[in-house]
Amino acid sequence: MNSLTLRSTAMVLAVLVSNLLAAQCDPESVDFGESPWGLAPDGVDTFFEVAELGVDYLDEVHLLVPSFASEVVPDTPLDAPIDSVVIAAVLLVDTLTGDTLDFSDAGLDYVCNNLGDCADPCTFLGGGQYCATFSGLPSIAGDFMLSLEVEVWATVFGFPLATPFSFSGFPFPILGEVDGIDVDGANGFSVYPNPTAGDFTVDGVLGGKALLYSMDGRLLRQWNIANQRQRLSVTDLPAGIYMLGVAAEDRYDVLRLSIDR
C-alpha cells in the first residue's frame, strides 16, 4: 500500500471516527439530582425537539437506571436488584389514526451510549446513567406520541427475569409543510386572521382536527372541526408564536400561528 493510499485511508477513518463521536451523547450532561431514577426529557417540564418533515433531526434521551425495583415501585413485594435495562424499541403512535410506527418508519433512528459497560450499547446497567441520540431525516408528518420500550432485567431466586416496561406519553409532532396552509385557500382551506388577537377561523376543513403546539412541542389545544367554517379561540394563551397543525383526510399541514395583542 503506497503512502497516498495510506493517507486516504487515514482520512476516511478520521471522518468515520469524527461522525461516530458526534453521534455519541454525553450520559453525564443531565443532572437528575437526588432521584434514584428518571428520564429526560420527562414530557412534563422538558420535551423533545420539534421535528420537521425533510429537515435533519437531532436530540437526546437520558435514562437514570434504578438499582432496585422498589425505587420504581415502592410497594413491590419483591425488592430485586435491577441487573440492566435494555432499550428494545422506539415507537411513534399517531394520535389521529391510532397507528403505531417504528422509529425507522418515520426516517429516524437511535444510537445508544452505555459507556462501554456492555457489548450491546443499548443495555444499561442498574444504578447507572446513560443516554441515546435520536437522529435522522423525518419522512412522515403527523401528530405522534413517542414511547420508549424497554426490558427490565432482574435476578429473581437465581433466575434472570425480563419485564417489559413502556415510557410513554411524550409529544413528538413531526411538522409537515411549515406555512403550508395558504391563507388565500390555495390548498382548499384557509386560516385567518394570522396574526390573531385571540380568535381565528379554519375555513374549508370539515371532519378534520386542529392541533395547537407550543414551539417546544407541547400539545396545548386540540379541536374537532365539525363545521365548514370553524371559529377557534386562543384568548387564554399568551402572545407569541405557535404551531397549528390541521389534519384533514390524508393531509397534515402545519403553519406558524402568531398571537399578537
Summarised one tens digit per residue, pLDDT across range 103-120 is 999 999 999 999 999 999
Task: Output the pLDDT for position 214.
Answer: 85
Domains of the chain with CATH codes: 23-175 (2.60.40), 190-259 (2.60.40.3080)
Distance (Å, rounded) from C-alpha 144 to C-alpha 118?
32
Q: What is the pTM of this model?
A: 0.69
The answer to whether 164 and 149 have CB atoms below 8 angstroms apart is yes
pLDDT tier, 154 (very low <50, low <70, confident <90, very high otherwise): confident
How far does the chain reach from its first CA to its final CA, in angstroms? 70
pLDDT tier, 148 (very low <50, low <70, confident <90, very high otherwise): very high
Distance (Å, rounded) from C-alpha 40 to C-alpha 44?
10
Per-position b or e across 95-120, b if 16+ CB within 10 A of its CB: beeeeebebeebbbbbbbbbbeebee
CB atoms within 10 A of CB 139: 13
